Structure 1
Amino acid sequence: MIRSWALSMLLAAGVSAASAADLTVVFVNPENFRDAAYSRSFPSERDRAEVLRDVQQHLQRLADRYLGPGDALRIEVLDIDLAGDFNPLRRGGSEVRVLTDITWPRMELRYTLSRDGQVIASGHERISDMNYLVMARRNSGSDRFIYERPMLDDWFARRIVAAKEHG
C-alpha cells in the first residue's frame, strides 16, 4: 500500500519535472484534509494520493499553458473538500458520494507568483464553487475530478493569469 502511494507521488513529481513551467505544488498535512478521497469517507494514503495526483496534474496543465519564461508559481494546498459527501446511513459495500446544493467543492490555497525573482502576486484563499451543480458538465463516467477542475480553472484565471497581465 505504501509502495502504491509512493509511486503515485513519484508520478506526480515526474509530471512537474518534465514540464517547462516553473510550478511547485506542496500539499501541507494532507492527512488532515477535510475530504480528499474519491470513494471513502476515511481514506487511506493511497486514496488520498489519487486526489493529490489529480490536483497536481491539473495545476501543472494550467501552469504549462499560462506561465511564461521567468515566471515561477508556488502553491501550497492547505485543505481539500471534494464536491459531495458520503452518505453516513449507507452500510456495507462501497460508499456512495452524494452531491447536493450544500456540498460544493472547496480548497484552501496559499500561493506566490514571481517573475524574474520578483513577487508579483501572493495570497491565502479559500476557493469554492457553490454553483457546481448548475453548470452542465459532460461526464464520461471515469472523470472523478469533474467538479473541482472548473473551480481551479476559475481561480487560476482570476488570480494567476490576471496578475501576470497586470504585474
Structure 2
Amino acid sequence: MIGRGVLAALLLAAAPAAAQPVSVRYVAPERFTDAENRLGSGQSLRVTLAEMTRIFEELGRRLPPGDSLAVSVLDIDLAGYERPGMGLPQSVRVVQDFTPPRIRLAYTLRRNGRVVAQGEDVVTDINFMLSANPRFSSGGLYYERAVLRDWFGRRFGV
C-alpha cells in the first residue's frame, strides 16, 4: 500500500510543469546603457537582471489563462546616475526628476499559441517620481517597476 505522501509526490512528479506566462531574454546585457553600478557600489548586472526578470514574471501573472508573453530586453538605463563618492571608495546613485528609467524592449504576446500583439517599445515616464513611491514598493528597482507596471497595463489592458 502506498502512503498518501508518496502518492502525492508521484502525482506531482507526473503532472506537467505549468508554463510560465512570461519569458525574458536579455540581448547583449554587457552593452546596456546603465544596468549596473560601474563605480564600486550598488548592484551588479546579474542582480539587476534577476530583479528585472522577477518584475516581468510578477506582471505576467496578470495575463489571462492561455496568454504568454516573450520579452527581449534590448537596453536598460536605470533611474538616476552614478556619482563618484566624495572622498569615499564607493559611488552614490542620484535620482532626480530629469533622470527617468528607460527600458527598450521587444515583445510578442501569444493567445493560445497565436501571435496577437508584437512590437518594440521604449518604456519610460518623465513623471516617474510622481507615480512611484519607494516607501510603498517591495524589492529593488522601484522606479523601473512602476514604469513597467504602467506600460504593461496600457499595452496589454491588464
- The one of 149, 153, 158 equivalent to 1:153 is 149
Of the three residues 33, 50, 53, the one matched with 1:53 is 50
Taking the aligned partners of 1:105 and 1:146, their CA distance within structure 2 comes to: 10
Give the TM-score of the pair, scaled to structure 1: 0.74
User: SS in structure 2 opposite 1:130?
Assistant: coil
CA distance in 2, matches of 1:90, 1:19: 50
The structural deviation recorded for 1:118 is: 1.2
Q: Do residues 114 (structure 1) and 114 (structure 2) align?
A: no
Q: How does 1:8-157 map to 2 (within 5 A)?
A: 21-37=20-36, 40-41=37-38, 47-64=44-61, 66-88=62-84, 90-135=86-131, 137-139=133-135, 143-157=139-153
What is the rounded CA distance, in whole Å, between the counterparts of 1:136 and 1:27 in structure 2? 25
Deviation at 1:68, TM superposition (A): 2.6
**Post-superposition shift, 1:135?**
3.3
Counterpart residue type for residue 106 of structure 1:
R
1:37-72 Cα deviation digits (max 9, x unpaired) = 2xx2358xx7001111111001101111x2232211
* Structure 1 residue 90: Cα displacement: 3.9
Aligned length: 141
8 Å CA contact 2:39–2:82 kept in 1: the answer is: no
Taking only aligned residues, the RMSD between alpha carbons, in angstroms, comes to 2.6
Q: One-letter code of the match for 2:53?
A: Q
* SS of structure 2 residue aligned to 1:126: strand
Would the alpha carbon gap of residues 122 and 42 (structure 1) be closer, same or farther in structure 2, given more than 3 Å must change?
A: farther
Which one-letter code corresponds to 1:155 in the other structure? W
Give TM-score scaled by structure 2 length: 0.78
SS in 2 for 1:156: helix
Instruction: Quote the Cα distance in structure 2 between the aligned partners of 1:42 and 1:19.
Output: 41
Structure 1 gaps, min length 5: 1-17, 163-167
> Cα gap change, 1:41/1:102 in structure 2, threshold over 3 Å: closer, same or farther?
farther
2: CA distance between counterparts of 1:110 and 1:31? 18
**Which runs of 5 or more residues in structure 2 are unaligned?**
1-16
Distance 1:24 1:136, change over 3 A: closer
For 2:156 and 2:26, the matched residues in 1 are separated by 19
In the alignment, is the contact (CA less than 8 A) between 1:108 and 1:126 conserved in 2? yes
Q: Which has the larger radius of gyration?
A: 2
Partners of 1:70 and 1:141 lie apart in 2 by: 29
Question: 1:118 and 1:141, CA in 2 relative to 1: closer, same or farther beyond 3 A?
Answer: closer
